[in-house]
A and B are shown apart, each in its own frame.
Chain A
Amino acid sequence: MTATSEDKKVLTAPTPLASEKANPLGEFLQKADFILLPLLAIGIFLGLWQFFSAIGKTGQIPGPVQVLTDSWPLISDPFFDHGSNDKGLGWQLIESLKRVAVGYILAAVVGVSMGILLGSFKPFRTAVDPIIQVLRTVPPLAWLPIALAALNQAEPGAIFVIFVTAVWPIMINTAVGVMQTPQDYRNVADVLQLSRTTYFFQILIPSAASYIFTGLRIAVGLAWLAIVAAEMLTGGVGIGFFIWDSYNSSRMSDIIIAVLYVGLVGFALDRLVFYIGKWFVVSE
Chain B
Amino acid sequence: MAFLEVQNAGKIFTSSSGKIYEALRGVNLQIEEGEFVSLIGHSGCGKSTVLNMIAGLGLATSGRVVVDGNTVNAPGPDRMVAFQNHSLLPWLTVRQNIALAVNAVYAKTLSEDERNALVEEHIMMVNLSAAADKKPNQISGGMRQRVGIARALATRPKVLLLDEPFGALDALTRGRLQEQLLKIWEAHRITVVMITHDVEEALLLSDRIVMMSNGPAAQVGEIMTVELPRPRQRMEVINNPNYYRQRNELLYYLNKAKKAKAGKVPATPVTSSVNSSLEKSTLTLGFVALSDCAPLVIAQEKGFFKKHGLDVTLSREPSWKAILQGVLEDRLDAAQMVAGMPLGELLGTYQRTAIPLVSAMTLTRNGNAITLGRKFYDQGVRSREDFKRYLEADRSGKKHTLGMVHPFSMHNLMLRYWLAGANIDPDHDVNLVVIPPPQMVANLQAGNIDGYCTGEPWNARAVHEGLGFVPVTDLDIWAGHPEKILGLKESWAEANPKTHLALIKALIEAGHYCADLAHREEITQLITQKKYVSADPIYGTLGLSGTYDYGFGRTEPVPNFNSFDPTVDNLTEKLWILTQMARWGLVTFPENWQDVLARIYRDDLYRQAASQLGITVPTATYQPLTLPDGMTLDPADPLAYLQQFAIQREINIAAVKLPARLLYVA
Contacts and interface: CB of A to CB of B under 8 A. Distances in A.
A192 B91 contact: no
Q: Which of A6, A188, A193 has the most CB of B within 10 A?
A: A188
Interface in B374-420: none
Nearest to B135: A282
B127 A3 contact: yes
Interface stretch (A22-30, A147-155, A198-206): A198-206
Contacts of B190: none
Interface residues of A, number: 29
Interface stretch (B73-81, B327-335, B542-550, B568-576): B73-81
B195 to A, nearest CB: 14
A211 B94 CA distance: 24
A38 to B, nearest CB: 32
Interface string B79-114: 111010101011110000000110011000000000
A192 B76 CA distance: 6
A188 B183 CA distance: 25
B80 A4 contact: no
A148 B176 CA distance: 70
Interface string B40-77: 00000000000000011100000000000000000111
B155 to A, nearest CB: 7
Contacts of A9: 140
Contacts, number: 86
Nearest to A203: B89
Interface string B147-160: 00000000100000
A191 interface: yes
B79 A191 contact: yes
B180 interface: yes
Given A1-B183, A6-B176, A7-B130, A187 B81 contact: yes
Interface of A, secondary structure class, is helix
A191 B91 contact: no
Nearest to A11: B130
A194 interface: yes
Contacts of B438: none
B127 A4 contact: yes
Contacts of A202: 89, 92, 100
A190 interface: yes
Contacts of A188: 83, 87, 89
Given A185-B87, A185-B89, A6 B142 contact: yes
A283 interface: yes
B81 A191 contact: yes
A284 interface: yes
A130 B600 CA distance: 74
B143 A7 contact: yes
A2 B176 CA distance: 12
Interface string B121-149: 00000011011000111111011000000
A283 B168 CA distance: 19
A192 B173 CA distance: 28
Contact of B143 (A10, A194, A283): A10
7 contacts: A10-B140, A187-B57, A188-B83, A191-B81, A192-B104, A195-B104, A198-B104
Complex A-B, nearest 8 residue pairs according to Cβ-Cβ distance, in ascending order: A184-B87, A282-B91, A206-B91, A192-B104, A190-B75, A1-B127, A191-B75, A284-B90
Interface of B: 55-57, 75-77, 79-81, 83, 85, 87, 89-92, 100-101, 104-105, 127-128, 130-131, 135-140, 142-143, 155, 173, 176, 180, 183
Interface of A: 1-4, 6-7, 9-11, 182, 184-185, 187-188, 190-195, 198, 202-203, 206-207, 209, 282-284
